[in-house]
């Protein structure tokens, strides 16, 4: 069997959690391969909304294993909070959740370093989620990090203290930054003890054995392609590879073992945090999208920046990921728009750009739009794509023609059931 991948094509929050939950019955294992508690993946069913940060979005389905891969960074305290939230739903997570021994740990001092670094950057800040993601991946690549496997070591506390000492020295550089570490350390150590109650595994071996045994695996991305450390809008990115290639390094799955790549995007576009966003709308239209789409962060509650779909950006993301099919999310958010705009290319000065250029950070990029007729009706109660208004079908077909990849799912609401399959592709047949 091959590993399918589902990941975000924009700047995160595309609706990955929802679609992973919808697809989970087709799989045996759902595996996260990068990111950490900076992610906020929302699932909605039976009138209840769940937000997951570290735990894969397959956790609510019986009989499916959930794996936190080596590429993920874990904050034991946040992780414990997530597990506690599962308790009322009688989820037997101990038998459904495995953690890679090679996953790195976020220390309280990583979070402090994140906060201190962001504060020092002032108006140039990344707009990080302040979960300690950057400093933890820095320690990973700097070969100083602590991993889940270390917590079983008799000298774990010494290793911890040595790293904290280093961090304290680093924090001294930030003269105006005050902190009280003692308050944070107790809960962190307590959460480490609880982490020991879960099963830690050699996850690359586990997953490859599973593939060999014919098990179906879905890799769940976090963040989005434009936040990728290499291919995103650097430096306004996260610190991991969010793209398909990240599945290989974040799970130990060889490139020859990658199957379908499902790229997921909103029928418009959002971004939270700083950095370039060519189609951003800083006007009442952007405000309307934010309101209709409840565009406020699942992790930080921050208002998300909103704009129109951007074809050069999506084509770029599809190229980097090798997306073989697409899910278009939140179509219902555009239910009350007479006109929907799509950016077809950019102008930088006089020059036309059909792709996402390096210069996007530093120069004025003018998006050029094509207007598409809106459908102006309620799509949230649709149960089949065949019932969809002609204008929505035309929008889907327009995007398929331009992106050259089939849109196999159209989502019309946050609930599991508000998901329309679109398997009979006419445009690309
Ligand atoms: P993720 O990080 O990619 O999993 O996405 P988030 O959970 O951060 O953000 C997506 C938000 O949109 C969540 O509040 C979802 O419940 C919601 N959502 C997902 N799909 C749809 C949809 O088709 N329509 C609407 N209105 N909301 C959706
Ligand atoms: P999900 O998985 C949207 C953004 C932050 C910031 C930048 C760096 O829910 O789609 P970090 O804390 O990673 O150092 O922040 O990345 N960011 C996200 N934006 N969705 C996410 O995750 C994000 N995770 C990080 O806002 O701009
Ligand atoms: Mg999110």
pLDDT, tens digit (0-9, with 9 covering 90-100), for 105-126: 999 999 999 999 999 999 999 9
| Least confident window among 105-109, 112-116, 174-178, 246-250 | 174-178
CA distance 104 to 70: 7
CA distance 283 to 337: 15
CA distance 364 to 278: 9
Distance in Å, CA 243 to ligand 2 centroid:
14
Nearest to 238 by CA among 3, 7, 17, 44: 7
Query: Measuring from atom 6 of ligand 1, which residue has the nearest CA?
Result: 13
| Ligand 1 atom showing the smallest separation from residue 43 Cα | 16
Distance in Å, CA 399 to ligand 2 centroid:
26
For ligand 2, is residue 272 a contact (CB within 6 Å)?
yes
Count of all residues that appear for the chain in the document:
429
- pTM for the predicted model, two decimal places: 0.97
For ligand 1, is residue 18 a contact (CB within 6 Å)?
yes
Task: Note the pLDDT tens digit of each residue in 24-37.
Answer: 999 999 999 999 99
Task: Note the pLDDT tens digit of each residue in 310-322.
Answer: 999 999 999 999 9
| Least confident window among 34-48, 224-238, 298-312 | 298-312
For residue 95, the 8-state DSSP code is: G
Mean pLDDT computed over 233-252: 98
What pLDDT, on a 0 to 100 scale, did the predictor assign at position 227? 98
Residue 345 designated active-site: no
What pLDDT, on a 0 to 100 scale, did the predictor assign at position 429? 66
Q: How confident is the model at residue 428 (pLDDT cuts 50, 70, 90)?
A: confident
CA distance 294 to 310: 20
Q: How confident is the model at residue 424 (pLDDT cuts 50, 70, 90)?
A: confident
- The pair phi, psi for residue 255, each rounded to 5°, is -55, -30
Mean pLDDT computed over 155-176: 97
| Least confident window among 72-81, 143-152, 292-301, 326-335 | 292-301
Residue 176 designated active-site: no
Q: 129 pLDDT exceeds 70?
A: yes
Which of 331-361 are b and which e, b meaning 16 or more Cβ less than 10 Å from the residue's Cβ?
A: bbbbbebeebbbbebbeeeeeebeebeeebe
Asked if 228 and 92 count as a contact pair (C-beta separation under 8 A), the reply is no
What pLDDT, on a 0 to 100 scale, did the predictor assign at position 74? 98
Task: Note the pLDDT tens digit of each residue in 287-338.
Answer: 999 999 999 987 788 899 999 999 999 999 999 999 999 999 999 999 999 9
State the catalytic residue, choosing from 4, 41, 75, 139: 41
- Pair of tokens at residue 197: 């109650």
For ligand 1, is residue 146 a contact (CB within 6 Å)?
no
Asked if 281 and 324 count as a contact pair (C-beta separation under 8 A), the reply is no
| Least confident window among 35-39, 142-146, 223-227, 301-305 | 301-305
Distance in Å, CA 116 to ligand 1 centroid:
31
């Amino acid at each position: 069997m091959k590993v399918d991948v589902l990941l975000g094509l924009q700047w995160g929050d595309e609706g990955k959690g929802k679609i992973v939950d919808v697809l989970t019955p087709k799989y045996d294992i759902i595996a996260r391969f990068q990111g950490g508690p900076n992610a906020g993946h929302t699932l909605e069913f039976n009138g209840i909304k769940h937000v997951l940060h570290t735990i894969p979005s397959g956790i609510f389905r019986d009989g499916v294993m959930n794996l936190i891969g080596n590429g993920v960074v874990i904050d034991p305290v946040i992780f414990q909070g997530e597990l506690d939230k599962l308790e009322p739903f009688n989820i037997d997570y101990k038998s459904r959740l495995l953690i890679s021994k090679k996953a790195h740990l976020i220390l309280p001092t990583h979070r402090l370093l994140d906060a201190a670094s962001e504060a020092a950057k002032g108006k140039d800040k990344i707009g990080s989620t302040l979960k300690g993601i950057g400093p933890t991946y820095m320690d990973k690549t700097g070969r100083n990090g602590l991993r889940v496997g270390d917590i079983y070591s008799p000298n774990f506390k010494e290793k911890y203290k040595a790293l904290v000492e280093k961090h304290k020295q680093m924090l001294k550089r930030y003269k105006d930054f005050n902190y009280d570490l003692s308050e944070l350390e107790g809960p962190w150590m307590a959460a480490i003890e609880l982490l020991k109650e879960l099963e830690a595994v050699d996850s690359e071996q586990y997953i490859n054995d599973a593939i060999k045994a014919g098990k179906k695996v879905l890799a769940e991305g976090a963040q989005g392609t434009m936040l990728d450390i290499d291919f995103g809008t650097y430096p306004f990115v996260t610190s991991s590879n969010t793209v398909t290639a990240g599945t290989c390094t974040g799970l130990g799955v060889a490139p020859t073992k990658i199957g379908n790549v499902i790229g997921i995007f909103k029928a418009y576009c959002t971004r939270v945090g700083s950095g370039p966003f060519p189609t951003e709308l800083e006007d009442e239209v952007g405000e309307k999208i934010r309101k209709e789409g409840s565009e406020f962060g699942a992790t930080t509650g921050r208002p998300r920046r909103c704009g129109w779909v951007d074809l050069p950006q999506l084509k770029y993301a599809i190229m980097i990921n090798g997306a073989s099919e697409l899910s278009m999310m939140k179509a219902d958010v555009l239910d009350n728009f007479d006109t929907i705009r799509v950016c077809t290319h950019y102008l930088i000065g006089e020059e036309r750009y059909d792709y996402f250029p390096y210069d996007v950070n530093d120069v004025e990029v003018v998006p050029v739009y094509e207007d598409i007729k809106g459908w102006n009706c309620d799509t949230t109660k649709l149960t089949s794509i065949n019932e969809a208004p002609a204008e929505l079908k035309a929008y889907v077909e327009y995007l398929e023609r331009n992106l050259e990849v089939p849109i196999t799912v159209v989502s019309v609401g946050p609930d599991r059931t508000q998901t329309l399959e679109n398997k009979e592709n006419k445009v690309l047949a």
